[in-house]
Amino acid sequence: MKLTVHRTRYGPFSNLRFLVVGAALLVGVSATSVQNALPAGATPQLGMHALSGELTPVPVGDRLIGPASPSTTMSLEVTLQPRDPSALAAEVKAVSSPASPLYRHFITPAEFAQAYGPTAASIAQVTTALEGEGLTVGPISGTGLYLPVTGTVARTESAFVTPLVAYKLPTGKVGFSNSAEPSVPSSVAPDIEGIIGLNTLDVAWPVGPVTARATSEDDSARESYFGAEPTDARRFMLQ
């Protein structure tokens, strides 16, 4: 079993993002149409809540093309807040600390969802809110922390109140970046941790197979099974 880590080139992540990363560890692996586009630095509309920490600098070498094509389809993941973050953090530390009796006692995604995933009511409320913004929402992930979302650039810009800009990458491919902090409906903002996929300028490469490595007590939960610091990790998946 290998761990694939999608990593960003810039920007720290919040403690709750670390907890989302912890979900992978516990289960056994070490967002206005172009015509009405908002200007950079747009402020959230009435009834919307801005998500902080969702802006990253444009990497050196990426060349600005202009506004993203409104008909382009975006594939996103809306990450949800876990239940009982303190207990989750404690268990992440326990399963990653060699001195703990729970060391490497992993749980299944279903067990994680039951213990730490959002409630069914929270998932339903977020799904309804996103669909109300014109986005298509898929089934919740096994851990209950990710909702797959698709929509055109125009729908995405409107739903999350942020313009999307296209860049030519050094590889020749085209990537996108949000030029303002995205916003979500205030009614479900407490349930939403972040949005993955608004910025596709990130570099991704595999790290693994991953093995445990000894660290200080304070750092053991943050570093065990990872080939990099959790602040570099965007998401994890099994292969």
pLDDT, tens digit, for every residue of 30-46?
333 333 334 344 555 66
Structural domain including 222 reads: 1-30+83-116+208-239
- Assigned domain for 203 exists: no
Whether the upstream peptide bond of residue 209 has omega within 30° of 0, thus cis, is: yes
Q: To the nearest whole number, what is the mean pLDDT of the chain?
A: 75
- Answer whether 22's CB lies under 8 Å from 95's CB: no
Mean pLDDT of 85-101: 90
Q: Are residues 94 and 177 in the same domain?
A: no
Mean predicted confidence (pLDDT) in 191-220: 62
Do residues 25 and 106 share a domain?
A: yes
Closest CA to 198 of 161, 232, 231: 161
CB 171 within 8 A of CB 192: no
26 pLDDT tier (thresholds 50, 70, 90): low
Residue 16 has pLDDT above 50, yes or no: no
Do residues 105 and 158 both lie within one domain? no
Question: Is 194 domain-assigned?
Answer: yes
Indicate if 54 and 64 belong to the same structural domain.
yes
Q: Which amino acid, residue 204? A: A
Same-domain pairing of 128 and 25: no
Query: What phi, psi does 78 have (nearest 5°)?
Result: -90, 120
Q: Do both 142 and 192 map to the same domain?
A: yes
Residue 153 within a domain: yes
In a domain, residue 158? The reply is: yes
Given a cut of 80, whether residue 105 has pLDDT beyond it is yes
Tell me the C-alpha to C-alpha distance, in Å, between residue 139 and each of 36, 143, 150.
31, 11, 12
Co-location of 53 and 98 in the same domain: no
Q: Inter-axis angle of helices 85-96 and 15-26, to 10 degrees?
A: 50
Residues 26 and 39 in one domain: no
* 53 vs 22: which has the higher pLDDT: 53
Give yes or no for residue 175 having a pLDDT over 80: yes
Q: What is the pLDDT of residues 119-143, one digit of tens each?
A: 999 999 999 999 999 999 999 999 9
* 11 within 8 A of 54, measured Cβ to Cβ: no
Residues 124 and 46 in one domain: yes
Position 203 scores a pLDDT of 52
Measured in Å, how far apart are the chain's first and last C-alpha atoms? Answer: 6
How many domains, the chain?
A: 2
- Count CB neighbours of 147 within 10 A: 22
Within a domain: residue 103? yes
Percent of the chain with pLDDT over 70: 65
Q: Do 66 and 13 lie in a common domain?
A: no
| pLDDT higher than 90, residue 4 | no
Give the residue ranges of DSSP H helices in the chain. 15-26, 85-96, 109-116, 120-132, 153-160, 217-223
Q: What's the pLDDT at 199?
A: 95
Q: Taking the alpha carbons of 114, 147, 177, 191 in that order, is the dihedral positive or negative?
A: negative
Can you state the angle between helices 85-96 and 109-116, rounded to 10 degrees? Answer: 140
Q: What is the pTM of this model?
A: 0.69
Q: Do 183 and 66 fall within a single domain?
A: yes
26 with 100, same domain: the answer is: yes
pLDDT of the residue at 211: 38
